[in-house]
Amino acid sequence: MTEIKGIIAAMQTAMHEDGSINEEELRRQINRQIDAGVDAVFCLGTNGEFYILSAEEKIRVMEIFVDEVKGRVPVYAGTGCISTEETVALSKKAEEIGVDVLSVITPYFAAVSQEELYQHYAAVARAVSLPIVMYNIPARTGASLAPGTVGRLAKDFQNIAGVKDSSGNFNNILQYIQETQDMDFAVLSGNDALILWTLLAGGKGGITAIANILPTVMVDIYQNYLKGDMEKAKEAQNAIAKIRECFKYGNPNSVVKCATNLIGQPVGPCRKPFGILSQEAVEGIRQVIDTYYAEYKNK
């Protein structure tokens, strides 16, 4: 199976002004990330606006990624839906298309128990042979994957190969690592600010939204960690702090897409109703970009 590791770019879905998918720009952004040295590219995650794309659009995005990447790096794809049936169907389709790794978010909106989460992931694992990275983001879904559930699934299913934690709670990451430390299992940070600390604790890397803005800086975190140069790794990790402070202006997806456009990468708008930021927010993001982006963009 594909090894789960490194800097995995959580890529945005480039769109035209009318909200339709901009295939040409999406392909260009894929190459931009690969040229920057990322270890993998990830479509249909939170930053890819999976929640507002139709099943047909999701399939088309996966086809574009697999076709454009051409095996240069692994392709991750988000295939999690609310129902187990839909998740299994989309996961099977991803395997058929040629995706390398599945990211499966917890079911959302309705309350779900740990046993229901176990059975959901177990059904997906039995249906496909691809490695599965479970996705924990309780602030968005209302569901939290307990460390014990993660450990149980990792033990019971060989292709449940990792978990991405976007809770922002570093203790949760530590518990995931502890529960799976004797297994071939990857714990990834979904919070860009915690990638280096996750690596130092025994995790394998991070799935990063900030790669849309500063891909080479995110790559530097991991590459300097591998070299044992902790000072340069910390410098790269700290370099994204001001960009992340812009999340105070609104939905992080909208902020990241706004910032990506402001640096001259025309990924377009978020699909409505999302992506509407105040003029004050846009100017605040622009000021941060003007102050910090030039310093770090070529590092």
Give yes or no for a contact between 39 and 215, defined as CB atoms under 8 angstroms apart: no
Cα–Cα distance list, 53 to 59, 125, 151, 163, 174 (Å)? 10, 24, 31, 23, 33
d(CA 62, CA 155): 29
**Integer Cα distance of 204 and 177 in angstroms:** 10
Kindly name the residue from 118, 135, 222, 225 that is annotated as catalytic.
135
Residue 282: per-residue pLDDT = 95
Write the CB contacts of 273 (distance below 8 Å, at least 6 apart in sequence).
none
- Predicted confidence at residue 298, as pLDDT, reads 55
Ordered by where they begin, the domains of the chain are 6-234 (3.20.20.70)
164 is catalytic: yes
Return the sign of the alpha-carbon dihedral for residues 10, 14, 15, 21: negative
Catalytic residue among 5, 58, 93, 164: 164
Question: Cα(first)–Cα(last) distance of the chain, in Å?
Answer: 32
Annotation marks residue 155 as catalytic:
no
Please write down the HEC assignment for all residues of 89-139.
Answer: HHHHHHHHHCCCEEEEECCCCCCCCHHHHHHHHHHHHHHCCCCEEEEECHH
How far is 51 from 57, CA to CA, in rounded Å? 11
Q: pLDDT tens per residue, the chain (299 residues)?
A: 899 999 999 999 999 999 999 999 999 999 999 999 999 999 999 999 999 999 999 999 999 999 999 999 999 999 999 999 999 999 999 999 999 999 999 999 999 999 999 999 999 999 999 999 999 999 999 999 999 999 999 999 999 999 999 999 999 999 999 999 999 999 999 999 999 999 999 999 999 999 999 999 999 999 999 999 999 999 999 999 999 999 999 999 999 999 999 999 999 999 999 999 999 999 999 999 888 776 666 55
Closest C-alpha to 43, from 22, 20, 55, 26: 26
Longest dimension (CA), the chain: 51
Beta strands 75-78 and 6-10, pairing class? unpaired
In this prediction, residue 224 carries a pLDDT of 98
Strand-pair partners of 133? 103, 162
